[in-house]
Amino acid sequence: MAMGLNDFELLNSALSGNRRDLSKILTAIEDGDSFEIGPQHPWTLGVTGPPGVGKSSLIGRLISKWTDRGEKVAVLAVDPSSPNSGGALLADRMRMGSTDSSDAVFVRSLATRNHPGGMASRLSLMIECLAACGWSRIVIETVGAGQSEIRIVAFADRVLLVDGPDRGDIVQAEKAGIMELADVIAINKSDMPNSQQAADSVRSALALSQGSQPQVHLVSAHDGSGVDELLEEIEACSVSNLGGHLRTKERLLSLWDSRLLDHPRINEVLHDVETGSITLDEAVESLR
């Protein structure tokens, strides 16, 4: 959709620091609008890991460290969607403490809207918009670890995998291939039993793989221990070690999925498939 006069005014207001208008732009982007923002070079961190391991709480700790250094931090927390309403279910900002009360912090919950890959389909444009508005650290928190979470590499230049003392979750991350994508791994809740054992198990698993291995950090979002060292490791990651091929592939797949879901005849074709009027192959051909 082309930008109108009101869109230009809205964008200029957001670029001037108006947070309310920035929120309006992100909502418009989420609803399918486009904005001419210009080339950006955002600093992005993808944070993934199983639900319940303290990703949001750990992000809150990192935010405090960044803002103390004078950084402006924006967080896009991608939440699961209700299959009926399409709205976000978790609202992760509630677990980041009072960090988003600062003028240097902007937190936005995004519904996946049941988008394949578990990522909001318009995320790239949102990131560009935030970078243009002066946010120097942009964090994307994913729904959780799993095969679909590989798509985080389409949007983030560096990836942090967070897990807890329960070894079972990290095994699932291994099966999904998430550990191969991570630039840094954090075992959160280091004040709890089995945390050191979990970290050692992860290091042993990484030792079996070829190529460079991510550092494994024991941290506690509860008392802040290990967070300084984790932050320095994250800052040392200039660009993900994955290279451009996988990132480009995931970006292409994300765009492909978005175009499919935004097709004007998608609901009509879904109905025809459900009623048996057409086959799946015929549905694909009709949407080309």
- Strand runs labelled E in 69-211: 73-79, 105-111, 137-141, 158-163, 184-187
Nearest to 168 by CA among 145, 141, 184: 145
Radius of gyration of the chain (CA): 20
Residue type, 240: S
The pair phi, psi for residue 187, each rounded to 5°, is: -95, 105
**Nearest-angstrom CA–CA distance, 173 and 49:** 8
Is the pLDDT at 90 greater than 50? The verdict is no
Question: 273 vs 67, 86, 199, 281, CA distance in Å?
Answer: 51, 22, 48, 10
Tell which wins on pLDDT, 249 or 22: 22
The pLDDT value recorded for residue 87 is 43
The 3-state DSSP class for residue 73 equals: strand
The overall pTM is greater than 0.85: no
DSSP H helical ranges for the chain: 5-15, 19-30, 55-68, 123-132, 167-176, 178-181, 195-207, 227-236, 244-261, 266-274, 280-286
pLDDT tens-digit series, residues 221-280: 999 999 999 999 999 987 655 555 666 777 777 778 777 877 889 999 999 999 999 999
Is the pLDDT at 167 greater than 60? The verdict is no
